[in-house]
Amino acid sequence: MNPLRSLPNVLTLMRIALIPIFIVLFYLPFKGAHLAAATVFALASFTDWLDGYLARKMQLTSTFGAFLDPVADK
């Protein structure tokens, strides 16, 4: 199976894609910007837990995922 198509890896890649969205929302000068940024951060945190859980539960652990997950955490 292509590691990029594995659900846990897709979630990790999504978490990486959320980083610039979080940064932009955090620095935007509108009233709900920090709440929106916090929501994106919470979503990213949830996917951090979920990707590991699913990888173990569905036996989809991979070398690529083991490399990518800590990179996304930085």
pTM: 0.84
Residue 28: per-residue pLDDT? 94
Nearest to 54 by CA among 1, 4, 19, 12: 12
CB 50 within 8 A of CB 11: yes
User: Does the structure show a pLDDT above 80 at 1?
Assistant: no
Tell me the per-residue pLDDT of 3-57, one tens digit each, with 9 for 90 and over.
678 899 999 999 999 999 999 999 999 999 999 999 999 999 999 999 999 999 9
Q: State the DSSP string of the chain.
A: --GGGSHHHHHHHHHHHHHHHHHHHHH--STTHHHHHHHHHHHHHHHHHHHHHHHHHTT---HHHHHHHHHHH-
Q: Note the pLDDT of residue 46.
A: 96
Domain that holds residue 19: 3-73
Domains of the chain: total: 1
Tokens 């846990």, residue located: 8
